[in-house]
Amino acid sequence: MNIEKTYAAYLDQQDELAHFRDEFYLPENTLYLDGNSLGLLSKQAEQAVEDMMASWKTFAIDGWAKGKEPWYYLSEKLGTMTAPLIGAGTEEVIVTGSATTNLHQLTASFYQPEGRKTKILADSLNFPSDIYALKSQLQLKGYDPNEHFIQVESKDDNLLDTKDIVNAMTDDVALIVLPGVLYRSGQVLDMKTLTDEAHKRGIPIGFDLCHSIGAVPHRLSDWDVDFAFWCTYKHLNAGPGSVGGLYVNQKHFGREPGLAGWFSSSKEKQFDMEHTLTQAQNAGAFQIGTPHLLSAAPLLGSLEIFTQAGIDNIRQKSLQLTQYLIKLLETELSDYGFTIANPKETELRGGHVYIEHPDAARICKALKADGVVPDFRKPNGIRLAPVALYNTFTEVWETVQILKTIMEEKRYKHYENERGIIA
């Protein structure tokens, strides 16, 4: 592959999504490759927040029913805008809560132990918050996680084997929860096959889409996935602490929510104030409390950009960016002890590149000092996420040149090989 900067510039000239870069506030003198942890602010998201504040200012309590975006229906509106990103029906998606609170809700709703079927199946590479939530749900039902929680192990601490997961679907498993994309290595799991195999055994299955939504297209309804959940501050660029979302397959409409609340109600009945819940006959039933409107507002703007760009176009450019980054790393940094630990096959690779090095923590510090924002993952991983909506091929080329200089001049040795408080 041509490694000259002029080739990167050529790729940028061919980029049909290049104009979306102007929609974002880019940190000055910075190559920002951490959008898989926190996406950048867009002008449309900023405007949506200002519009929400203006609605509050103008209408006060009447904002629930008046204005450009009545608050009472905002979660449903955002669910409709999100649905194309995951291949779902509009009534199967609701924007609410956070990733972890939504996992608690969905586990409380779908984990129904009976007889020998008492165990929850997960994996050893998932984000810790999911593991904490699943274990606590077991304890709430009176089960010891040491006996009733199964985690599929990885052979190399980076990737999962579909066959190993299927083999763990034993007849004592009552629920399966897995990531759509592994947060460290970026491996895309075969959700269709896993769902088919789970359903052959009568096991409901759900997926954490935190590291895939907005970067990888899904077809959850076609795959017959039972449920899914996600955050919105990574690839969806909705801001720190922005409201999460969940999906429930329409075949489960009418299922009683495990954690019911006021916003679990049917919209038509909610203000009747009855003490018997008449739940919504859609994914809205799995809401709990009042929507966090000011934290949901940025999604109105950020999701509009996804509507304009198209998730398939985003995926195509994302794969081109990560493939280009991988080739540059192989060509330019082969002598410096790096291991490319993410899948190289396009269909298995998410939206970032994951490399390992014994001095990863101090290399990340050196990169940041030289204007590159990476992401360290213990014990020795560096995540680099060129995001399709605002990163360029030239930025990828520049990042690799900076990293090469850091290694050649051993600049990383100026730093301790320990992560900061926030990695």
Statement to judge: residues 15 and 122 lie in one domain:
no
Which pLDDT belongs to residue 395? 98
Statement to judge: residues 202 and 72 lie in one domain:
yes
| Residue 175, SS3 per DSSP | strand
Which pLDDT belongs to residue 422? 75
State pTM to two decimals: 0.96
Tell me if residue 234 is catalytic. Answer: yes
For the CA atoms of 121, 124, 130, 134, what is the dihedral angle to 10 degrees?
A: 40
Statement to judge: residues 14 and 85 lie in one domain:
no
Tokens of 363: 């290399």
Tell me if residue 12 is catalytic. Answer: no
Tell me if residue 208 is catalytic. Answer: yes
What is the chain's alpha carbon radius of gyration, rounded to the nearest angstrom? 22
Which pLDDT belongs to residue 4? 82
Which pLDDT belongs to residue 83? 98
Residue (of 142, 117, 120) closest to 132 by Cα position: 120
Which tens digit of pLDDT belongs to each residue from 100-138? 999 999 999 999 999 999 999 999 999 999 999 999 999
Statement to judge: residues 60 and 87 lie in one domain:
yes
Q: In terms of residue numbers, what domain contains 86?
A: 47-308
Question: In the chain, which stretches have pLDDT less than 50?
Answer: none
Tell me if residue 73 is catalytic. Answer: no
Q: Which residues of 283-313 are buried (b: 16+ CB within 10 A; e: fewer)?
A: bbbbbbeebbbebbbbbbbbbbbbeebebee
Site of tokens 């599929």 = 152
Tell me if residue 383 is catalytic. Answer: yes
Annotated catalytic residue, options 59, 72, 127, 336: 127
For residues 207 and 130, is the Cβ–Cβ distance under 8 A?
A: no
Q: Which residues of 247-256 are buried (b: 16+ CB within 10 A; e: fewer)?
A: bbbeebbebe
C-alpha distance from residue 369 to each of 373, 409, 414 (Å): 9, 14, 11
Residue 100 annotated in ligand binding: yes
Residue 185 annotated in ligand binding: no
For residues 229 and 209, is the Cβ–Cβ distance under 8 A?
A: yes
Residue 98 annotated in ligand binding: no
Handedness of CA 309, 311, 314, 316 (dihedral sign): negative
Which pLDDT belongs to residue 266? 96
Domain boundary among 288, 308, 328: 308
Q: Is 417 inside a domain boundary?
A: no
Q: What is the CATH number of the domain that holds 263?
A: 3.40.640.10
- Per the structure, the count of domains in the chain is 2
Which pLDDT belongs to residue 1? 53
